């Protein structure tokens, strides 16, 4: 078939017009892609060797929450080597943005161990009373890898202690038959001190994990609406019946007046919904209030207590 110039012109107009009527696709995943850098020891205690353990514990803690998807550590380290980035260089905005594109991560967590201490106290008369204590404090910064801007931070603190008693035979005139040991009991070994530090670090990580959740509230989308009833793309093990969500429309892009970079979009609250039935991959809810029309594709954010 031979197309005339007029027919070609009409076809071109039709193709151009179709670009504007293709429905916008909505991401089906509310998950946050996060990369976690190895923790640095800035505590001043050079003997503190728990950096790798703390990093792995935080990755494990975040992975428990379906709201997060963690970039595998070995993949992240490979990308750093291949791109010749230094971890310290990721504080540079351009490097951070490039790193985000290479890893697919949306956020970067960079952390420091600011306190790492263990101590032992003892009081004595006939029976020695000993107490061993370890303390760990952590701090992180969270960087948005689309903008290179730090969006928040969190701290975590943890303590672990143990008490013990030992009997000194010579204190009551008895011979010491336990070789060269001065008392019947156990001294704090290097391994025990390490265990105490790991226990304290674990508590600090759990403390920090709870604070990270408040920085990243659970988000999703409305995927179907029928009157006052809605279906959202968040399911089992993430929410409970009775959970409340705020509903938002995406507004205009926000452009920084100086840097001219896009730093996000305006969020316009349009109402609230309550969840009444939960399935494996989605949940049912109903609209409890609205100021504007709630529609498919609107963002939902779990409401804080």
Contact predicate 221/298, CB 8 Å: yes
pLDDT score for 193: 63
Global pTM value: 0.67
282, pLDDT greater than 60: yes
CATH architecture of 32-215: 3-Layer(aba) Sandwich (3.40)
More confident residue, 206 or 188: 206
pLDDT digits (tens, 9 = 90+) for 122-145: 655 555 556 789 999 999 999 999
For 10-31, the pLDDT digits (tens) are 544 444 444 333 333 334 455 7
Residues 248-253, mean pLDDT to the nearest whole number: 90
Residue 64: the pLDDT is: 84
Domains of the chain, by residue range, sit at 32-215, 219-302
pLDDT of residue 23: 34
> Which of 178-182, 232-236, 285-289 has the highest mean predicted lDDT (pLDDT)?
285-289
> Residue 1: which pLDDT band, with cuts at 50, 70 and 90?
very low
Average of per-residue pLDDT values in the chain: 80
Instruction: Give the pair of three-digit tokens for residue 67.
Output: 């709201």
The CATH homologous superfamily of the domain defined by 219-302 = FlgT, C-terminal domain (2.40.10.410)
Residue-level pLDDT at 256:
85
User: pLDDT digit string (tens) for 199-239?
Assistant: 999 999 999 998 998 888 888 999 999 999 999 999 987 88
């Amino acid at each position: 078939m031979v197309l005339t110039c007029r027919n070609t012109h009409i076809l071109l107009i039709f193709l151009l017009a179709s670009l504007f009527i293709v429905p916008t696709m909505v991401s089906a995943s509310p998950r946050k892609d996060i990369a976690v850098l190895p923790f640095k020891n800035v505590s001043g205690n050079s003997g503190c060797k728990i950096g790798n353990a703390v990093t792995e514990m935080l990755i494990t803690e975040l992975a428990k929450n379906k709201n997060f998807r963690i970039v595998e550590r070995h993949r992240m380290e490979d990308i750093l080597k291949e791109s010749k980035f230094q971890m310290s260089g990721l504080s540079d905005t351009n490097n951070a943005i490039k790193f985000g594109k290479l890893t697919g991560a949306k956020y970067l967590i960079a952390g420091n161990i600011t306190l790492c201490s263990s101590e032992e106290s003892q009081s004595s008369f006939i029976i020695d009373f000993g107490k061993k204590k370890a303390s760990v404090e952590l701090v992180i910064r969270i960087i948005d890898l689309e903008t290179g801007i730090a969006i928040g931070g969190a701290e975590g603190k943890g303590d672990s202690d143990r008490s013990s008693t030992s009997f000194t035979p010579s204190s009551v005139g008895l011979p010491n038959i336990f070789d060269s040991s001065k008392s019947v009991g156990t001294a704090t070994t290097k391994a025990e001190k390490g265990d105490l530090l790991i226990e304290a670090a674990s508590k600090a990580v759990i403390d920090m994990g709870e604070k990270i959740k408040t920085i990243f509230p659970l988000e999703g989308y409305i995927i179907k609406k029928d009157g006052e009833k809605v279906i959202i793309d968040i399911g089992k093990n993430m929410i409970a019946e009775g959970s409340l969500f705020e509903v938002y429309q995406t507004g205009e892009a926000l452009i920084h007046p100086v840097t001219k970079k896009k730093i996000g979009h305006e969020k316009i609250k349009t109402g609230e919904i309550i969840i009444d039935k939960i399935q494996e991959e989605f949940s049912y809810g109903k609209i409890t209030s609205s100021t504007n029309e709630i529609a498919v594709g609107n963002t939902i954010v779990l409401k804080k207590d």
